Structure 1
């Protein structure tokens, strides 16, 4: 209790003043803390904030399309690096067709006479230069049956006549040669075995005659089998980079600008389903194409099938592995060696054979003229038979 009532107002005044000062000190400290932490800036005004907001609304950020693991700039560098070595291939072929001569009728209105007429067909494709002196790789189907083949280099309006050095229908590869009178730009070869699904891919070609069209995507899969007519491909690269008629024979590239495949086919029933021959496979036959004009392949002379439970039961064996001989070609190495229909091939040179594909892959690893040893099961009895491979 205060001793005198007159002292009360004075002490209350002192308390209020002291409390107010304390509150002001606390607020000042809080403000300084925010400023030091960067939440307040003495340089930015409300007007500045409105201007910044207006700018962000009138100038939207546009994302540049890219492909996996790269930027648009690297695709540009790939095109600049490889583009000069990509060529357009123009072909002409002549075929005879039967046409009716409607101006000639006989009195009895018998069958209208037919005459032979020549029709010229033009074709377009792509290719790429692999040597400074003018060797060019493309697809066999691009130049097959052509009477004339001409190559147009990037930036040139005239064409140069090309000669066929070698072809391989089974692989759908052709090697051409032009005489440009100068050193030509060449592509760099990559490693198609090293790429993986999801890696970026770039295709350059001349779809529908549109010179040096560039498309980009990814490697969708490896080792794809594909049947086109009578051709059976077993190890194609699949890509979603757009490939269209005229792209055939052009390069499929990795993001270093190295060739990893030759664009060869599309699935017209879907989108983004393009296929390319792995460049490693092509390089294995390149020497044969240059020296022989064809690919030398070993030949056994048998038709084979996979083992099935039914075939195993029929042959009286428990194991369902191996390749079954369905037919032996007359006069073939297989017939000369004594192989018979129904034999089950279980080993080639002491390496196990599990199915028809493993047998084909193993045989393809040999050269024509090689002597190989087969182990076959005939009516449950194992036999060893030597076969001298011929050239297919």
Structure 2
């Protein structure tokens, strides 16, 4: 309009100037932020698109080895190059300790096949019929002795064993002990066979790595791995009465029976015997300390006699201990005494509380059982008991457990 000031014609353009200035400022800020992020974290390109860095590969001198984890609490040792710089990416190469353990014991693990003898039918000789397949461990290579489970031999009358190298031999039954589900076979023919080393199951801690080797479903010399889940379990059914069983989560399947459970040194610390069908990851192996006792008696005497005290007992509860004003923290209360047993002849009664065994305070529920086993048949135990507010000492001579009681799975110790 004529006569109006000329500056009003520029008012509509003022907002555009501020928007332009704001854009310049924001753009500069984004450029600066991107440069900083790239310098700090390398966001400009993904890791898989960047060229390989020389420093990303560990120098050969950086890592010597990873010592195999020791079974008895030793710490792993890592040796590194003292000249390595902070900018060098360190790396640890873990040695596969399980491989060496398997290589030590696998040559002594055998596949056990049972057969029914050949029979004449309709004027034809029927060949041997396979009756079962399981596992075993050679424990005496000079004499060809193999330990396996007793239930493995139930359905057959002839047996053959196969080694990992493919060799196959006939075997004969030496003896068996059904209550512990252990049996001994003797390989007929060759001498100087590989043999496994048996370790002490008492030294294996709960949580330790273990290896099971066997022939599940006919898959010969299969290796599975787990840990010791528990120790000192009882395993009782219609034919077995095993008082020292290792529980493991190492996969054990049909065909693993009689095979070894090993520690990371390749020593046999158990013989696999059963699984819990109601759950997954619950397998059982007969502890090697018990296995060694049984197989030595089977080889020498063809039978096993068990030390027997003749009592049933349980751990006293904390409430009972306080009520009875028992000074000791732990005790085993006798719930019943078998008539005519060693305990009965020594004067032990139901309700007596055992607080010490051979001068040592009661440790746990397994203490008395282990003491009976260690004393053996004819050995003596000195028990300190608490009865009706008074302490007294009783000496007991260990007897022999009647076999019929074992087969009936009665709980007498």
Same fold (TM over 0.5): yes
Unmatched 5+ stretches in structure 2:
1-47, 53-67, 70-92, 118-128, 402-413
Q: Hey, what does 2:343 align to over in structure 1?
A: 334
Aligned partner of residue 140 in structure 2, secondary structure: coil
In structure 2, do the counterparts of structure 1 residues 253 and 372 end up closer, same or farther at CA, with 3 Å as the change threshold?
Answer: closer
The structure 2 residue matched to 1:125, chosen from 134, 141, 144, is 134
Verify: 1:205 aligned to 2:226, yes or no: no
Matched, 1:85 2:108: yes
Q: In structure 2, what is the equivalent of residue 303 of structure 1?
A: 312
Q: 1:134 aligned to 136, 144, 158, which one?
A: 144
After superposition, the C-alpha distances for 1:149-192 in whole angstroms (9 at most, x for unaligned) are: 4132225586513213342623x322222222433222233444
Q: Is the 8 A contact 2:206 2:231 kept in 1?
A: no
1:272-324 CA-partner distances (Å, limit 9, x unpaired): 4333233234224443232222334321112223223675588x554574222
Segments of structure 1 that go 5 or more residues without pairing to the other structure are 1-48, 54-67, 95-119
1:164 and 2:174 matched: yes
Partners of 2:98 and 2:363 in 1: CA distance: 43
Which whole-Å CA distance do the structure 2 matches of 1:141 and 1:380 have between them?
Answer: 48
The CA deviation string for residues 216-269 of structure 1, in whole angstroms up to 9 with x for no partner, is x23243425254426565654444432211101111233443323222222334
Contact 2:174/2:298 (8 A) holds in 1 = no
Matching of residue 152 in structure 1 with residue 154 in structure 2 = no
Distance 1:340 1:226 in 2: 24
1:365 and 2:374 equivalent?
A: yes
Provide the secondary structure at the position in 1 that maps to 2:376. Answer: coil
Q: 1:128 to 1:71 in 2, by over 3 A?
A: farther
TM-score, with length taken from structure 1: 0.64
1:221 and 2:221 aligned: no
Q: State the Cα RMSD in Å.
A: 3.6
* Secondary structure in 1 matching 2:366: helix
Return the match for 2:384 from 366, 372, 375.
Answer: 375
Q: What is the CA–CA distance in structure 2 between the aligned matches of 1:375 and 1:240, rounded to whole Å?
A: 39
Task: Kindly state the Cα deviation for residue 200 of structure 1 after the two structures are TM-superposed.
Answer: 4.1
Q: Kindly tell me: are residues 318 and 77 of structure 1, through their superposed partners in 2, closer, same or farther at Cα, counting changes over 3 Å? A: closer
Is residue 372 of structure 2 the alignment partner of residue 349 of structure 1? no
**Equivalent position SS for 1:125:** strand
Match of 2:271 in 1: 262
> In 1, are the aligned partners of 2:311 and 2:334 still within 8 Å (CA)?
yes
> What is the CA distance between 1:84 and its match in structure 2?
3.1
2:289 aligns to what SS in structure 1?
A: helix
Matches within 5 A, 1:239-254: 239-254=248-263
Shift of 1:331: 1.3
1:288 aligns with 2:297: yes
Query: 1:203 touches 1:214 (CA, 8 Å); kept in 2?
Result: yes
Q: CA deviation at 1:366?
A: 0.6
1:175 paired to 2:175: no
Contact kept in structure 2, 1:219 and 1:237, CA below 8 Å? no
- Change over 3 Å in CA distance of 1:200–1:121 after alignment to 2: same
The 1:189/1:375 distance shift into structure 2, 3 A limit, reads: closer
In our comparison, the structure showing a higher alpha carbon Rg is 1
Distance 1:324 1:347 in 2: 12
